[in-house]
């Protein structure tokens, strides 16, 4: 199979662009942290969260380790930085017991690293290698700011108040549900990020040909209404719908509905950060783990797509002859960068009505029709991450990046998610981007779309 040449994107970026990325990511971090009090900065010890005070120090350390020390051989700005913030060397459960600097001291460390990163590029244009490192460390911070958003939801803190994205009025969005499946033709498909992309994480690289059998996939993710039918039909009480591991999790977790749902006796309500609101029936279900998604599929006679099928539905296009075209889209709608008309991302707040005190909710699955894929799938970018059937594995020819623990240690025991969520930074993701979590995680802004069983 031959693939026509794509427009080559420069893998270098000017100093001003890289500095703006660093500053923007850091501003988002402070917006998520600055309003927390001393107790909240440490927080309770949970398996799925970090102490925020430790985590922001880790961000500065990561920038320094891979953007200063590894590039230039610089000495650490803090002699104890490795002992405090190296996430690989420091066991998660011990991070609450470390002699962490105060918030003001940590901010000073963060500020010093940022200034050093910017000053080292003054008066010259960065190389391709430097550009990659600066983007890498920025996107690493973007991942953590999304995780900070998870933490605020998990712990019931007030919602963050992000600068930048302008609110979207739900009355201006096409809403409601979106039923039905679309057909994806079979053929040879190039899975992964092509070599000419300006940036790719190591687990996306080595794009390779795979064979896609014809299949169908839902136009939209599963909604709250659809998932509530499963709950009300006893889905959480029927072991026949669950895998052995999933049923063990359900019993131990005593789960009887998606996380943050509560039945009032008349209707479902959902906690959004520190407030409880009526459940929006047409929004995608969220805060469900992989086992819950799989159980719903068993109940509904459906299945999760593989990640290759998901990517083909998002990035592929028909060839006009009943097969898949050689072309591949960077985003579901094409190669143009994301905008507020195409997808919900970047923490953009949705203003709904007076019953929603914070106005920050997921969009209905019928919203953003201009962001449809070539096959008519909606919201394959933003709103909620989507679980796939696939286990996170290396692509053929995998080579680890300089940060060898980003991907390689996690192959084999995590499940792949695709597409991004409302809190994901849009500059970071595209159709080939792979997220991955263990199957019990419910704190992620994750839902799922399905396929008919073969």
More confident residue, 383 or 348: 383
If asked whether residues 87 and 220 sit together in one domain, one would say no
Of the residues 104, 127, 154, which one is the last residue of a structural domain? 154
- Distance (Å, whole) CA 388 – CA 314: 13
If asked whether residues 150 and 248 sit together in one domain, one would say no
If asked whether residues 242 and 149 sit together in one domain, one would say no
Contact 159, 360 (CB under 8 A): yes
**Domain for residue 196, yes or no?**
yes
Q: What percent of the chain has pLDDT over 90?
A: 87
More confident residue, 356 or 326: 326
If asked whether residues 74 and 146 sit together in one domain, one would say yes
Of the residues 92, 124, 154, which one is the last residue of a structural domain? 154
Residue-level pLDDT at 145 = 97
If asked whether residues 98 and 177 sit together in one domain, one would say no
> Hey, what's the torsion of the CAs at 244, 249, 251, 252, to 10 degrees?
140
Over residues 258-268, mean pLDDT: 96
Over residues 350-378, mean pLDDT: 80
If asked whether residues 97 and 186 sit together in one domain, one would say no
Residue-level pLDDT at 124 = 87
Report pLDDT digits (tens) over 284-304: 999 999 999 999 999 999 999
If asked whether residues 227 and 109 sit together in one domain, one would say no
Of the residues 131, 154, 177, which one is the last residue of a structural domain? 154
- Distance (Å, whole) CA 314 – CA 419: 9
Report pLDDT digits (tens) over 132-148: 999 999 999 999 999 99
In the sheet that holds 275-278, the strands lie side by side as 261-263, 268-272, 275-278
If asked whether residues 361 and 437 sit together in one domain, one would say yes
Domain count, the chain: 2
State the pLDDT confidence band at 4, using cuts at 50, 70 and 90: very low
Residue-level pLDDT at 7 = 37
* Buried b or exposed e, range 7-44, using 16+ CB within 10 angstroms: eeeeeebebeebbebbebbbebbebbbeebeeebbbbe
Other beta carbons within 10 Å of 449 = 29
What is the extent of the structural domain holding 260? 168-452
Q: What percent of the chain has pLDDT over 70?
A: 96
If asked whether residues 202 and 120 sit together in one domain, one would say no
Q: How far is CA 253 from CA 249, 256, 293, 342, 368, in A?
A: 6, 9, 16, 37, 35
Residue-level pLDDT at 334 = 97
- Distance (Å, whole) CA 377 – CA 316: 11
More confident residue, 327 or 381: 381
**Domain for residue 79, yes or no?**
yes
**Domain for residue 191, yes or no?**
yes
More confident residue, 376 or 175: 376
If asked whether residues 288 and 227 sit together in one domain, one would say yes
State the pLDDT confidence band at 169, using cuts at 50, 70 and 90: confident
Tokens 């970071």, located at residue: 428
CATH number at residue 128: 1.20.120.450
If asked whether residues 194 and 137 sit together in one domain, one would say no
DSSP letter, residue 259: T
Contact 406, 201 (CB under 8 A): yes
């Amino acid at each position: 199979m031959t693939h026509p040449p794509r427009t080559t994107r420069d893998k270098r970026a000017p100093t001003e662009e890289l500095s703006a990325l660093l500053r923007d990511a850091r501003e988002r971090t402070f917006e998520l942290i600055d309003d927390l009090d001393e107790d909240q900065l440490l927080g309770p010890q949970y398996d799925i969260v970090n102490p925020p005070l430790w985590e922001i120090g880790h961000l500065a350390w990561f920038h320094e380790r891979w953007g200063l020390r590894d590039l230039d051989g610089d000495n650490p700005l803090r002699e104890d930085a490795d002992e405090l913030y190296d996430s690989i060397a420091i066991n998660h459960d011990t991070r609450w017991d470390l002699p962490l600097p105060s918030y003001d001291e940590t901010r000073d460390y963060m500020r010093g690293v940022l200034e050093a990163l910017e000053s080292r590029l003054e008066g010259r244009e960065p190389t391709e290698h430097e550009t990659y490192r600066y983007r890498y460390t920025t996107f690493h911070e973007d991942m953590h700011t999304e995780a900070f958003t998870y933490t605020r939801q998990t712990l019931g803190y007030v919602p963050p108040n992000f600068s930048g994205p302008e609110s979207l009025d739900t009355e201006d969005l096409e809403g409601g549900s979106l039923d039905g499946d679309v057909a994806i033709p079979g053929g040879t498909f190039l899975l992964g990020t092509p070599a000419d992309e300006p940036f790719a994480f190591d687990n996306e690289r080595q794009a390779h040909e795979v064979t896609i059998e014809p299949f169908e996939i839902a136009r939209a993710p599963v909604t709250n209404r659809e998932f509530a039918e499963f709950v009300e039909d006893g889905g959480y009480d029927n072991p026949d719908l669950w895998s052995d591991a999933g049923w063990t999790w359900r019993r131990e977790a005593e789960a009887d509905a998606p996380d943050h749902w509560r039945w009032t006796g008349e209707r479902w309500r959902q906690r959004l950060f520190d407030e409880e609101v009526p459940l929006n029936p047409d929004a995608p279900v969220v805060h469900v783990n992989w086992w819950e998604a799989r159980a719903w599929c068993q109940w509904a006679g459906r299945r999760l797509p593989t990640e290759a099928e998901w990517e083909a539905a998002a990035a592929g296009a028909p060839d006009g002859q009943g097969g898949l075209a050689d072309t591949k889209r960077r985003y579901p709608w094409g190669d143009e960068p994301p905008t507020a008309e195409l997808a919900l991302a970047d923490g953009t707040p949705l203003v709904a009505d007076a019953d929603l005190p914070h106005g920050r909710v997921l969009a209905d699955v019928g919203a953003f029709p201009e962001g449809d894929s070539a096959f008519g799938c909606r919201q394959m970018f933003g709103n909620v991450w989507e679980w796939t059937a696939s286990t996170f594995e290396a692509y053929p020819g995998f080579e680890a990046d300089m940060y060898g623990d980003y991907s390689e240690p996690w192959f084999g025991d995590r499940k792949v998610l695709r597409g991004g969520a409302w809190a994901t930074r849009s500059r970071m993701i595209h159709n080939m981007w792979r997220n991955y979590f263990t199957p019990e995680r419910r704190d992620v802004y994750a839902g799922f779309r399905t396929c008919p069983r073969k």
